[in-house]
Amino acid sequence: MNPVEQYEHDRDEQVRRNIGDAGLRCAAHEFTKHLVRTNYTKNFTWMGRPILQYPSDMFVMQELIWKIKPDVIIETGMAFGGTAVFYASVLEAIGKGVVVTVDIDPREENMAALVHGPLRGRISIIEGDSSTRRTKAFVVRSIREQLACNATVLACLDSNHTEDHVYKELCLYSPLVSVGSYLVVFDTAIEHHMTEQPADRPWGPGNNPMTAVARWLWEQRADQKFVRDLEVEKRALVTAAPHGWLKRIK
């Protein structure tokens, strides 16, 4: 075993031990509650764009992108464009791939930052409601050449966080995800860390991405094309996507 292989072996063994460490899980849960309370995700930018994600999640995402080397990354929910730029920067390092980012209201300033930014050749923006067939059709049209060549596709859902919206996204975009790749559903942590319905948001406890994932996986149980990858989330420890790292296995 060379040093890197030994490192990865030891890391994987450590992750497996961590999964069974109840004290560590409890500490991570309590720590995350404080991060949510203090809007920790607003602390960071990537290449000048607000990213609104936990650094631990982004480290795991770059690991997945580097390992899978996708031809296409579909992202719903562009926000400031930070995650699209992040994903595109990893694809740039790999030397292939495009990010298709979808948003119902991509603000002009955010669009301009991506369209005129250094990674503009790897980012495509689609304006529309990501939970509709019409918008999916635009996504498919934008990547038809890659799909015709059996592209490796990874998808990340991070737009409207209501159960119905995320459930519709799961139904629409899961067939595009390639075997061995991932469908990552962000903000499933709302179920654990939001104690009451916020006045300014339609989602909350009992109505969020985690309940959408549970509903969708239950309905897909006969085929079981996707499974939760718990080792991924336990390696992150602090994650906005508990039970939301879904790997396509067939």
pLDDT digits (tens, 9 = 90+) for 5-55: 999 899 888 888 888 889 998 999 899 989 988 999 999 999 999 999 999
Residue 33 CB contacts under 8 Å (≥ 6 apart), including other chains: 193
Q: What stretch of H or E contains 235?
A: helix 230-236
Pairing mode, strands 245-248 and 226-228: antiparallel
The mean predicted confidence, pLDDT, of the chain is 94
Q: Amino acid letter at 189?
A: A
| d(C-alpha 246, C-alpha 231), whole Å | 11
CATH code, domain with 208: 3.40.50.150
Tens digit of each residue's pLDDT (9 = 90 or more) over 189-204: 999 887 777 777 888 8
The upper half-sphere exposure of residue 145, i.e. CA atoms within 13 Å in the direction of its Cβ, equals 4
> Residue 114 pLDDT more than 80?
yes
**Strand ranges, E, within 5-117:** 45-46, 49-50, 72-76, 98-103
Instruction: Output the pLDDT for position 17.
Output: 87
Is the pTM above the cut of 0.85?
A: yes
Instruction: Output the pLDDT for position 18.
Output: 84
Instruction: Output the pLDDT for position 200.
Output: 77
Q: Containing domain of residue 124, as a range?
A: 3-248
How many structural domains does the chain have? 1
- CA-to-CA separations, 248 to 38, 62, 140, 156, 225, in angstroms, rounded: 34, 18, 19, 13, 6
> Residue 125 pLDDT more than 90?
yes
